[in-house]
A and B are shown apart, each in its own frame.
Chain A
Amino acid sequence: MKLADPFADGILALLPRLRRFAAGLSRGGAGEADDLCQTTIERALRNRDKWQAGTRLDSWMYRMMRNIWIDEVRARSRRGETFVDEEAGLGIGASGGQDESAALGDVDRALAQLPDEQREAVVLVMIEGWSYKEAAEIVGCPVGTLNSRLVRGRDALLARLGEAA
């Protein structure tokens, strides 16, 4: 019994972008990124009555995923399961994190070293292609704040990846 459902179909169409956003945010590889997608979809389905038809579904979903990610990052750091090693700059997960981070490429490694607020700004603008204003709305901060986090994040990435990025 397949039901026509514009809301679910809309999310389905967004999945490739949502997976990319999750991959940009997560430090734990593809499995963790898809877990983030799954949690986001489940929350969206539970809260579908809060989405207003006619407004953008994509920014609504991005905001939801970003908030879930932030909550999880903070919960983990409270539990001490994950820490960011400022020297090595790698996010070490609770299980298998070291193996996964060893397999990370230069770009993943450089991104993993960014503080969360810089990382999300970089991912939203430079990978996901949101304008500064839209990215600031997703994060829930002023545009100027988003802009300066982005500059700090970029400078750090350029320093790590080399000027010839």
Chain B
Amino acid sequence: MTRPTPEQIAAFADGQLEGAEHADVAAAIAADDALTAQVAAHQALRARLSSHFAPVTSEAVPDRLVALLSAPQTDVVDLAQVRARRRGLPRWTWIAGPALAASLVLAVTLGRGGGTGADYAPDQIAAALDSQLVGEQPGDAPVRVLLSFRDAAGAYCRAYSASATSGIACRDGEGWKLQGAASPGAGRANGEYRQAGSEAEIMAQAQALAAGPALDAEAEKAARARGWRGPSD
């Protein structure tokens, strides 16, 4: 029998060998005290490393990490600042964040050719806004609705995210009107649209527009049943 390689000995100690290779290596190790000792040393090292780091998993997770996931809509501004600082992004990214996100979204939307008009969500997004409920949409939906709320005028608004664009649209008599000022801004790289339109910034916009809390599942269902039309329509 050929002597097992160091890789095979380690793999054996980690339980990573299978079939004939496992049988061969196990037999070689069993027949050689030095190899048996090596396997024991590997396993002791693994136990020492895993016990050294085990306490981390029982520590309380810092609030700042939980906050990123549980309440993005209240932390967005801080987040954008932190991110800009950490990643060395151009400063305008967070200073101009919400407005910029909206204008880039519009530029992208215009470029693809909208349905009702430049100010309105194109068909695919409009269809998702009409039909999808936040809590029941598939995780891989091409357009994901992030949340629904009502603006100061009582109109229903919905924030959404799709692969090429994200933003907020509010329902009026004609359709889903995109929120934010249009600006000529076409011709930038994809990554920049994605950066500017990140969900945290969309959430910041939503927070600025919303006149109350986000709709819960029941309220969303009721709003959908009424065609997303506010009482004033």
Interface residues of A (CB under 8 A from B): 1-4, 6-9, 11-12, 15-17, 19-20, 23-24, 34-35, 37-39, 41-42, 45-46, 48-49, 51-54, 105, 107-108, 111, 122, 125-127, 129, 131-132, 144, 147-148, 150-151, 154-155, 157-158, 161, 163-165
Inter-chain contacts of A165 with B (CB < 8 A): 41, 44-45, 48
A42 near B79 with CB under 8 A, answer yes
- Asked if A49 meets B14 with Cβ closer than 8 Å, knowing A15-B66, A107-B48, A157-B45, the reply is no
Inter-chain contacts of B62 with A (CB < 8 A): 34
Q: Which residue of A lies closest to B207 (CB)?
A: A1
A20 near B56 with CB under 8 A, answer yes
- Asked if A147 meets B199 with Cβ closer than 8 Å, knowing A38-B65, A45-B72, A122-B49, the reply is no
Q: Which residue of B lies closest to A148 (CB)?
A: B7
CB distance from A72 to the nearest CB of B (A): 10
B45 near A3 with CB under 8 A, answer no
B86 near A34 with CB under 8 A, answer no
Task: Tell me if B181 is interfacial: C-beta within 8 Å of chain A.
Answer: no
Majority secondary structure, B binding face: helix
Interface residues of B (CB under 8 A from A): 6-7, 10-11, 14, 16, 41-42, 44-46, 48-50, 52-54, 56-59, 61-62, 64-66, 68-73, 79, 82-83, 86-87, 134-135, 138-140, 144, 146-147, 149, 161-163, 194-195, 198-200, 213-214, 217
- Among B14, B86, B87, B214, find the residue whose CB has the most chain A CB atoms closer than 10 A: B14
Inter-chain contacts of A49 with B (CB < 8 A): 144, 161-163
A-B pairs with lowest CB-CB distance, top 6: A53-B139, A1-B214, A16-B57, A165-B45, A20-B56, A1-B213
Inter-chain contacts of B198 with A (CB < 8 A): 45-46
Inter-chain contacts of A48 with B (CB < 8 A): 161, 199
User: Given the complex of chains A and B, what is the CA–CA distance between A157 and B66 in angstroms?
Assistant: 34
Inter-chain contacts of A148 with B (CB < 8 A): 7
B6 near A155 with CB under 8 A, answer yes
User: Given the complex of chains A and B, what is the CA–CA distance between A132 and B156 in angstroms?
Assistant: 51
User: Given the complex of chains A and B, what is the CA–CA distance between A39 and B83 in angstroms?
Assistant: 8
- Asked if A3 meets B57 with Cβ closer than 8 Å, knowing A46-B198, A105-B52, A147-B11, the reply is no
A11 near B69 with CB under 8 A, answer yes
Chain A to chain B contacts (Cβ below 8 Å), 15 pairs: A1-B214, A9-B69, A23-B53, A34-B62, A39-B86, A42-B200, A46-B194, A46-B198, A49-B163, A105-B52, A127-B50, A127-B53, A148-B7, A151-B10, A154-B42
User: Given the complex of chains A and B, what is the CA–CA distance between A131 and B68 in angstroms?
Assistant: 30
Q: Which residue of B lies closest to A150 (CB)?
A: B10
User: Given the complex of chains A and B, what is the CA–CA distance between A3 and B213 in angstroms?
Assistant: 11
